[in-house]
Every structure is written in C-alpha cells, then in structure tokens.
C-alpha cells in the first residue's frame, strides 16, 4: 500500500493545506507501526488495518470500528489520532482501487513474476516518496508535528511505544535510514500519485465528516429521548 509520504500528503489535503493537528499526523502513519514488532507477518498487518479488505460492506464496517474507537477517550488529541488512523485505512482502500489495480494490470501485461512485481512496486513508490520529501513545502512543519505528537495505545492493535518507534523511523528514513532508488517511476508514476492524493483527501474528508455528523445527531436523539423528569 502507499508509503508514509503519501499518507502525510493525504493528511495535508484533508485539512486543505491548513494546519494539521499533530495527533492526526501520527495517526495517519500509525497502522504501519506493526513493522516495529519482531516476528510479525502479513496477517498481523491485516489486523492493525482491521482486515478491512475482507469485509463485504467495508464502509459500514469501518464506520462501526471508527465509532468504537473515537468514543474511548474524551480528549481532543485522541480524537484527532483516531481520525488520522482511519484516514490511513481509507487511503489504503482507495489506493487499492485507484492505483494498485492499475499497477497489477500493467505488471501482469508485462509478465512480471510476483517477486519482481513486488520489487518494482517499492522501487517506484519509494522514489515518489523521496521526491515528495525533497519538494513539498510543508515537510518541515509536518516533521515538527510528528515529532511532538503524543503517542497512544491503539488497543488491542498497537502500543504507543511501537507507534513512537515507527514515527522515528519515518522522520529519519529520508536523511539517515533509506536509500533513494534514483529511478524514473514506471508502473506507478508521479502523475498517477499526484492525481490520487487530492482526490483521496477530499473523499476521506467527506466520509469522516459524515460519520461525525451522524454520530452527533444520534447522540442528540438519544439525549432527547431520555426519561421524563
């Protein structure tokens, strides 16, 4: 699925290039923190992503899980964190439909074996991530927000410590840990991802906004139907 700079790009689009709450930024990369746990496999990653791709009615399922988590704490930072977490999950789903499906069709047409396709997928997406890191004007502010954000346990999926370590890995990937492929993306191209990001940000903003409004309306109805005094 998309790499961290795409998720952070979507977060910026979600807030229409305004100030992004630090907790939202951290939430928007948090599901992939499973990579900081030793001995994990693809099934563990499916769990932190709420096995969303296997649900027959994904939108209803995601909404129910969103409602489950958003009410667990009353403080605003937690709510921003949960919104960022679900923005990540929805970004992955939209990427699967809009970008990865095209990638699979192209690589199948060229006869790429599974491992070769996996290699070129990460070559292309890593190159695009490095490009965004070098060129986006908001990187300094987003990095500052990520570093300063409070980390939360996302029980029973991830610990605050795992999310913190993934945060460190993310902010240091481009200057210390990673190595730029230095290729021209071929199967997943820069224009494809440039078009995906604003579309995803807008769709996710509308969806989470609708869920929040529906939850608020349900709460008001419940309060209004309380016992008469």
In a domain, 64, yes or no: yes
CA angle 111-112-117, nearest 5°? Answer: 150
Asked whether residue 139 is assigned to any structural domain, the reply reads: yes
Q: What is the mean pLDDT of residues 8-35?
A: 98
Write down the pTM of the prediction: 0.94
In a domain, residue 8? The reply is yes
Does 47 reside within a domain? yes
Number of domains in the chain: 1
Does 229 reside within a domain?
no
Task: Report whether pLDDT(226) > 70.
Answer: no
Mean pLDDT, rounded, of the chain: 94
Residue whose C-alpha is closest to residue 25's, from 6, 8, 41, 48: 8
Identify the pLDDT of residue 9.
98
Distance between CA atoms of 194 and 192, rounded to whole angstroms? Answer: 6
d(CA 147, CA 128): 22
Inter-residue contact 91 to 7 (CB < 8 Å): yes
Instruction: Measure the CA–CA gap between 50 and 44, rounded to whole angstroms.
Output: 10
Residues 42-51 have pLDDT tens digits of 788 888 988 7
- Alpha carbon dihedral 215, 221, 223, 229, in 10-degree steps, equals -170
pLDDT tens digits along 156-181: 999 999 999 999 999 999 999 999 99
Instruction: Write out pLDDT tens, residues 76-117.
Output: 999 999 999 999 999 999 999 999 999 999 999 999 999 999
- Say what percent of the chain tops pLDDT 70: 97
Provide the residue range defining the domain that includes 146.
Answer: 4-224
């Amino acid at each position: 699925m998309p790499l961290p700079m795409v998720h952070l790009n979507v977060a910026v689009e979600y807030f229409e290039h305004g100030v992004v709450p630090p907790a939202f930024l951290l939430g928007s990369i948090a599901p992939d923190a499973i990579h900081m746990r030793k001995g994990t496999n693809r099934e563990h990653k499916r769990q932190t992503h709420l096995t969303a791709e296997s649900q027959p009615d994904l939108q209803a399922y995601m909404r129910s899980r969103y409602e489950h988590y958003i009410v667990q704490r009353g403080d605003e930072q937690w709510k921003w964190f949960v919104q960022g977490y679900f923005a990540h999950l929805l970004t992955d789903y939209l990427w699967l439909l809009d970008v990865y499906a095209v990638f699979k069709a192209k690589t199948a047409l060229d006869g790429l074996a599974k491992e070769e396709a996996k290699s070129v997928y990460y070559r292309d997406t890593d190159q695009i991530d490095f490009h965004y890191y070098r060129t986006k004007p908001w990187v300094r502010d987003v990095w500052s927000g990520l570093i300063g954000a409070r980390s939360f346990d996302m029980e029973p999926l991830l610990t605050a410590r795992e999310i913190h370590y993934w945060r460190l890995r993310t902010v240091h990937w481009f200057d210390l840990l990673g190595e730029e492929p230095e290729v021209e993306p071929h199967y997943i191209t820069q224009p494809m991802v440039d078009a995906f990001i604003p579309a995803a940000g807008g769709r996710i903003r509308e969806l989470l906004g609708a869920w929040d409004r529906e939850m608020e309306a349900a709460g008001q109805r419940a309060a209004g139907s309380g016992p008469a005094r």
